[in-house]
Structure 1
Amino acid sequence: MHVGRSYRLLDFAVWSRRGALYVLIVSLVAVAAYSLPPLAGFSIPWPIVAVLGTSVALVAGFKNGQVLQRSSDALQAFAQIAAISRLLATLSCDFLDKEAARRVILRHLAWLTALRYSLRRPMPWETVSQGANRAFRRRYYQIQEDLTTLPQALAPLLGAEADAIAARPQPALALLQLQGEEINALLKQSAIPTQVYSELMKLLRDCHDQQARCDRIKNTPYPRQYAVVSAIFVVIFATLLPFGVVPTFAAMGGSGGVLGTVMLWLSVPFSVLIGWMYFALDLVGESTSNPFEGNANDVPISQISRDLEIELRARLGDTELPAALPPVHGIAT
């Protein structure tokens, strides 16, 4: 997630350059078709282009609105997880003995670690592996889940159990199951009051709910039919746009001559600018539609998890805490 003032225009232009290059090529073809026989004077009526542009803008706006809702839901889920984590730490430290509190809190942090690794796994419809996103990521930031394996990340929290848990088909669910068994054992040993037991089980249920919420977002893409329609409409509009812009600029050049030639070629940068805006709008929506994959616009689950780990382990009295994950080039991961 970008937490700086804004993206730099140059960085944004480089990231979205493919759309501009496409419109540039089509614009040159349109100029050639308008100027050279046998298609001299070929054009598309401007009202058709304007109506198509309006339709594409409406489709792109609908898509981006839905994408923003997905991103907001993902951020709210992790905000709720943060609240659950702090309440769990408070109950554990206040009502459990030190060893039991340490086990419960570290296992909860292990669950959070396993959850974020699950949310970072690649899916076929995601855009993180696309050339522009991959190049931007390589240049400006790194994802923690790419630097260490799940067993390595779990080892400081679970010790010898880390490899066995990481090998389970669903490590996060396995850890919630173990957490439930621990809480039940504490009740049977009369190590916690019944009311505290009830609160801990409610928090465990909330963990299940938020994991299911995150999994729904991760495992369900933005409807492909709408994504494809939006992309196709943008390409159609960008293809027809120069054939409407070129004759308009040619008419502004009058009867020809030097002014006519200059105006004819001025249509190229204007077509590129307008077409790039539509491509960039669609690209921003598509790259934001999967809020856990690790793009620059995604929910910073690594940073949230690390901040919670530092806070909860400090509650346990640990002094050797992991380093925080500050934003790099304005991007929190």
Structure 2
Amino acid sequence: MIVRRNLKWSFILHYTWKSMLYYVLLAVVVYLLHDYYQVFHLHLPFSTITALSTALAIFLGFKNNNAYDRWWEARKIWGLLVNYSRAWTRQVITMIIPDDPLEAANAKELQQRMVYRHIAFVHALRVFLRKKLPYNNPKIQEIFEETNEYADTVAFLMPAEYKVFCHKKNPPNYLLELQGEDLRRAYNRGWISDFRFVRLEETLIEFNNIQGRCERIKNTPFPRQYSFFSRVFVFIHASLLPFVFVEEIGWASIPISVILSFVFLCLDLVGERAEDPFENRLEDVPITALSLTIETNVKEQWGDKNFPEAKDPGRGVIL
């Protein structure tokens, strides 16, 4: 997620330079044909672009609103994960209580295993939702210092669990299954009552719901017709602009048409970059930072002072 108030032009040009080059060349060619070769029929009436600009602005506004709704829903889902992670840790610590003092050490071991396995679940869910690092641009690539690999879970799982975990098609779901099995063992040994067992199981179900809602956003793309036609309409609009202004303002039609085309191009790109919030891009929901927040909170509740190092947003981006 970009937190810098002012965006770097190097990032903007990385996504727009091809289109901008087309806009500039087209505007120059139209101007030269009109003024030097006297091709007067190149001129179009101003009302043509006015109607198209209005329709395009409405279309892009609708697209961007719905794209932002997807991004904001993803952020709210991970906010719920933060809250339920704190609740789960508290429940494990306070509700799994053996009657026999001789079993206190075994119960403590079970609690620790379940607490740390949840941290592994959070990191596994992050990796499961994201793709590999997609950037070839060194200026953007240098921001990504994370590996986005399941190796981030090694420290929180038993070796045997991790070996099986790595071969699962849905690793986060496998960890929830292990949590349920440990709950059953604690119940069978009398460490939790019926009511407490139900409450803990309800929290596990919430983690299933959170993962399912994330997968729904991940696996259901924004309707492709909106993305396709927005690109087509922006291209048509930019291609017509030089023909509208060249008769009225001459050489000034070059910068004016390029600037107006750039505005609509950016509006289109804003929606396109926001519609898929789990693609490991600069504009995505910062689930790495949220994962580290959860890890810190859970460890603090357990009494572990070995907190993860927070990512520095010095470059204006929180991953």
Match of 2:318 in 1: 332
Deviation at 1:176, TM superposition (A): 0.9
The Cα offsets for residues 31-51 of structure 1, whole Å up to 9 and x where unpaired, read as 122124362452111110111
C-alpha offsets along residues 94-149 of structure 1, whole Å, 9 cap, x if unaligned?
12242122111111111111111111126xxxxx7476xx555225x1052xx253
Question: d(CA) in 1 for partners of 2:118 and 2:254?
Answer: 58
Q: Which amino acid aligns with 1:237?
A: H
Which residue identity lines up with residue 52 of structure 1 in the other structure?
Answer: L
Counterpart residue identity of residue 202, structure 1: E
Cα RMSD (Å): 1.9
Structure 1 distance, partners of 2:240, 2:135, is 26
Q: Is the 8 A contact 2:135 2:141 kept in 1?
A: no
Q: Residue 130 of structure 2 aligns with which residue?
A: 120
Query: CA distance change for structure 1 residues 14 and 113 in 2, over 3 Å: closer, same or farther?
Result: closer
Aligned residue in 1 for 2:296:
310
What is the alpha-carbon distance in structure 1 between the residues aligned to residue 212 and residue 179 of structure 2?
17
Map of 2:156 onto structure 1? 157
Shift of 1:74: 0.2
Instruction: Measure the CA separation in 1 of the matches of 2:33 and 2:134.
Output: 37
The answer to whether structure 1 residue 138 and structure 2 residue 127 are counterparts is no
Cα pair 1:35 1:41 within 8 Å, conserved? no
Q: Contact (CA 8 Å) 2:71, 2:276: kept in 1 or not? A: yes
Shift of 1:316: 1.7
Unaligned runs of 5+ in 1: 123-127, 250-263
Q: Equivalent residues in 2 for 1:1-333 (5 A)?
A: 1-8=1-8, 11-13=11-13, 15-37=15-37, 39-96=39-96, 97-121=107-131, 129=134, 134=137, 137-139=140-142, 141-142=143-144, 144=146, 147=147, 149-150=149-150, 152-160=151-159, 161-249=161-249, 264-333=250-319
- Give 1:196 shift: 1.8
Q: Which amino acid aligns with 1:101?
A: Q
Residues 74, 136 of structure 1: CA spacing in aligned structure 2 closer, same or farther, 3 A cutoff? farther
Distance of aligned partners of 1:148 and 1:273 in 2 relative to their CA distance in 1, 3 Å threshold: closer
Preserved contact between residue 127 and residue 148 of structure 2 (Cα < 8 Å): no
Q: Which residue of 2 aligns with 1:256?
A: none
**TM-score (structure 1 length as normaliser):** 0.87
Asked whether the 8 Å contact 2:2–2:318 carries over to 1, the reply is yes
Q: Secondary structure at the match of 1:16?
A: helix
Deviations 1:153-186 (A, max 9, x none): 1110003122320111110111111111111121
Residue pair 2:131, 2:280 contacting (<8 A) in 1 also: no
Q: How big is each residue's C-alpha offset from its partner over 1:43-73, in whole Å with a ceiling of 9 and x where there is no partner?
A: 1111101111111111111110010000011
State the AA in 1 paired with 2:126: R
Q: CA deviation at 1:243?
A: 0.6
Match of 2:103 in 1: none
Distance 2:95 2:311 in 1: 31
Shift of 1:15: 4.4
Distance 2:163 2:316 in 1: 35
Distance 1:21 1:198 in 2: 62
The runs of at least 4 consecutive aligned structure 1 residues that moved more than 6 Å come to none
Q: How many Å separate the matches in 2 of 1:244 and 1:267?
A: 8
Question: For 2:27, what is the secondary structure of its paired residue?
Answer: helix
Closer/same/farther in 2, CA of residues 205 and 74 from structure 1, 3 Å limit: same
Structure 1 window deviating more from structure 2 (59-68 vs 9-18): it is 9-18
Report the count of equivalent residues: 308
Q: In structure 2, give the amino acid aligned to 1:245.
A: F
% identity of equivalent residues: 29
d(CA) in 2 for partners of 1:233, 1:60: 10
